[in-house]
Amino acid sequence: MTDRGLLGRDVLVLLALTGWGLALPHYASEFVVSLGLTCLMYVTLSTSWSLFCGSTRYLSLATSAFFGLGAYASALGLERQLPWASVIVIGAAIAVGVAIVMGAAVLHLRGTYFAVLTFGMTELIRHALAYFEKQVSGTVGRVLTTVPEGATVYLTVLALAVLALATSIVVRRSRFGLAMSGIGADEQRAQTLGVNTRLVKLAGFAITAGFAGAAGAAMAVRWTYIDPQTVFNPFIGFQTVLIALIGGAATLWGPLIAAIVFSLLAETLRLQLPQLYMMALGLLLILSVLYLPGGLASLRWQTVTGWWRGAGARLARGALAWRVRGAGRG
Amino acid sequence: MAECLLEACDVTVRFGGLIAVDNVSASFEAGELAGIIGPNGAGKTTFFNAISGVIAPTSGRLIASGRDLTGQRPHAYARHGIARTFQTPRVFAEMTVAANVAFGLKFAGRGRPAPWLLRDADGILELIGLADRAAMPAAGITPSQQRLLEIGMALATRPRLLLLDEVAAGLTESELESMAQLIRRIRSELDLAVVWIEHAVTTLLRHVERVLVLHQGRKIADGPPAVVVRDAEVIEAYLGDEMVETGPTGPTAHDGRAPAGAHA
């Protein structure tokens, strides 16, 4: 397909999501709209996560840190009667600031070390905030009393999801996006071809964090009461990574589709069979990493026929080996 | 006097207790074709790593076209006209051959003066002879084509100094010769300086105008091939056994005659 064709497809995906998101509150029940909100949150989180982590192959587990920081900023901002839009912006800005500091400290590490350190820093931030609550302000959490209407929250998260997708569409076609792909393919080679890798990684990490922070700020008001254990819940970060990996982190629509499917699955299954959902998610992750390293988005008809032929060939080899052994004995 | 593109002053690279490059000074001038030879472990590749910013030297200075780049990262070297290839081809496997070449044009090559042959990816692919492979993924071409692609990627940064690290390793005799012709052509038509590390010493000496010899991290000789191969220390350190095998008379360390391979 040509570049223009691909761009057309991406823009269609974006328009479809916007239309669907705008239409949903008009016909669906309150429960479905709240499901839709969770969907859009994971679309925002996993799309922005893949934007950086999918192309550079730096696996960040810090999503819950940025999400939690956004949520906390939101709670504190709303306590002070700040306007809603500025609450979202402050949430994003704090997450960006922390990402820059964190990135400067850990972005020279690769692979497992990077993943583990981002996770460790998330825990550090969570415990630091818990300490702050207890020792400094003498509280445990925050009660959110003045919260905006449900419709405002929904539209805010929809806007974030659309913005995340649009950013992803633009960045993938930019020099910045190419630099990130180069880093993912061979960081040192990209450097010797003129990419300022440190700057590019920092900027990419900051963009991801900004979206997670904004999403956290918007979603915080869904809880009437927040404390560090709730908003820094590592489950949010893990689920984001799982969605992106299962969907195919290198593509635009892989994480999008996976975010919708899995947040629906999560909400419905978690109510009835919580363990089953986690088991299913774990199993799917293992299967997709083993057999579909490009995620579900890389699945083509040929992949399936390839498996089929592979299985046939294995059967044939087995039969041959069996016959040869039989002949040897005879 | 020609413009000095890169000046390495007393460059030392130490890995723990091992001194990989020991106080090497050298400067490379516009338009020259120089070779670096030395036995395995002599520090050739480490020297390249140091002068392309891939590793920071333990001590010493690196000055590119009058600008001090000591301690800077590789992208700064690339943007100041120093390009390199890697011993094992490090192409972007999943991108097409054309995209691999276009990469450098979009980063270090951007805004640098563009000679006609390096105007765009097509021009570069034509030059390195991979035009018919443009749309293939880089993982799908042969290893010797990947070596050519490495050169193409480096050229896309529109360098003034091209560092080639064993681009001819593992090539057949005829491929080796056409690689040498390509390098000469690049040098003369693009008016850039080439520094070429190669294990195929006889071929290298036939094509370069100047050769540096590294031995145990030290530079033991630097000059025209015909002179260098007469150098007693060089013969002792490196050329000795190889040249005795190939040369008809076989130079002894002190007779002052050049080995046969060095004349052409």
Q: What backbone phi and psi angles, to 5 degrees, belong to B107?
A: -110, -95
What the block records as the tokens of A107 is 């972005």
- Establish if B94 touches chain A: CB-CB under 8 angstroms: yes
A-chain CB neighbours of B107 within 8 Å are: 175, 179, 190, 193-195
Residue of B nearest to A180 (CA): B103
- Establish if B156 touches chain A: CB-CB under 8 angstroms: yes
Which residues, 6 or more positions from B53, have their beta carbon under 8 angstroms from its beta carbon? A191, A192, B62, B69, B72, B73, B74, B75, B76, B77, B82
Q: Which domains does chain B have, with CATH numbers?
A: 4-81+161-262 (3.40.50.300), 90-159 (no CATH)
Rounded to whole angstroms, how far apart are CA atoms B162 and B65?
14
Probe site for chain A from B92, B96, B101, B160 (most A CB atoms < 10 A) = B92
Q: How far is A175 from chain B (nearest CA, A)?
A: 7
Q: Is A34 exposed, middle or buried (0-12, 13-18, 19+ CB in 10 A)?
A: middle
Rounded to whole angstroms, how far apart are CA atoms B234 and B253?
9
Rounded to whole angstroms, how far apart are CA atoms B139 and A130?
50
Query: What local confidence, expressed as pLDDT, does residue A326 receive?
Result: 63
Yes or no: say if B181 and B196 are a contact pair by the CB < 8 Å rule. no
Probe site for chain A from B106, B112, B153 (most A CB atoms < 10 A) = B106
Asked if B106 lies within 8 A of A175 by C-beta distance, the reply is yes
Q: How far is B64 from chain A (nearest CA, A)?
A: 15
Probe site for chain A from B45, B75, B106, B162 (most A CB atoms < 10 A) = B75
Asked if B73 lies within 8 A of A198 by C-beta distance, the reply is yes
Q: What backbone phi and psi angles, to 5 degrees, belong to B25?
A: -120, 140
- Residues of chain B where predicted confidence (pLDDT) is lower than 50: 243-264
Chain B (96-115) residues lying within 8 Å, Cβ to Cβ, of chain A: 103-104, 106-110
Residue of A nearest to B103 (CA): A193
How many interchain CB pairs under 8 A, A with B?
Answer: 65
For residue A304, the 8-state DSSP code is H
Yes or no: say if B171 and B143 are a contact pair by the CB < 8 Å rule. no
What tens-digit pLDDT sequence spans chain A (330 residues)? 456 668 888 898 899 999 999 999 999 898 889 989 999 999 999 999 999 999 999 999 999 999 999 999 999 999 999 999 999 999 999 999 999 999 999 998 888 899 999 999 999 999 999 998 888 888 888 888 888 888 999 999 999 999 999 999 999 999 999 999 999 999 999 999 999 999 999 999 999 999 999 999 999 998 888 999 889 988 888 889 888 988 888 888 888 888 988 888 877 777 777 777 777 777 877 877 777 777 767 666 666 666 677 777 777 777 777 666 666 554
For residue B96, the 8-state DSSP code is B
Q: Is A210 exposed, middle or buried (0-12, 13-18, 19+ CB in 10 A)?
A: buried
Largest CA distance in chain A: 89
Asked if B84 lies within 8 A of A182 by C-beta distance, the reply is no
- Nearest CA to B179 out of B140, B224, B231, B144 is that of B144
**In 3-state terms, what secondary structure has residue A172?**
helix
* Triad A253, A258, A263: Cα angle to 5°: 135
Query: What local confidence, expressed as pLDDT, does residue A303 receive?
Result: 65
Architecture of domain A3-299: Orthogonal Bundle (1.10)
Residue of B nearest to A182 (CA): B92
Q: How far is B171 from chain A (nearest CA, A)?
A: 23
Type of residue numbered B133: R
- Bridge-based pairing of strands A225-226 and A142-143 is antiparallel
Type of residue numbered B51: I
**Residue B196: left if φ>0, alpha if ψ -120 to 50, beta else—which one?**
beta
User: Tokens 């020792």 sit at which residue?
Assistant: A135
User: What ipTM does the predicted assembly reach?
Assistant: 0.88
Yes or no: say if A226 and A129 are a contact pair by the CB < 8 Å rule. no
DSSP letters for A83-99: -HHHHHHHHHHHHHHHH
- Establish if A185 touches chain B: CB-CB under 8 angstroms: yes
Type of residue numbered A202: L
A-chain CB neighbours of B103 within 8 Å are: 178, 182, 190, 193
Q: What backbone phi and psi angles, to 5 degrees, belong to A302?
A: -65, -30
Type of residue numbered A151: A
Rounded to whole angstroms, how far apart are CA atoms B17 and B60?
18
Q: How far is B258 from chain A (nearest CA, A)?
A: 38
Yes or no: say if B212 and B35 are a contact pair by the CB < 8 Å rule. yes
- Radius of gyration from C-alpha coordinates of chain B: 18
Asked if B90 lies within 8 A of A188 by C-beta distance, the reply is yes
Q: pTM for this structure?
A: 0.87
User: Tokens 């071929």 sit at which residue?
Assistant: B203
Query: What local confidence, expressed as pLDDT, does residue B256 receive?
Result: 37
Q: How far is A169 from chain B (nearest CA, A)?
A: 19
Which residues, 6 or more positions from A50, have their beta carbon under 8 angstroms from its beta carbon? A168, A244, A247, A249, A250, A251, A254, A255
Domain ranges of chain A: 3-299, 301-330
- Establish if B84 touches chain A: CB-CB under 8 angstroms: yes
A-chain CB neighbours of B165 within 8 Å are: none
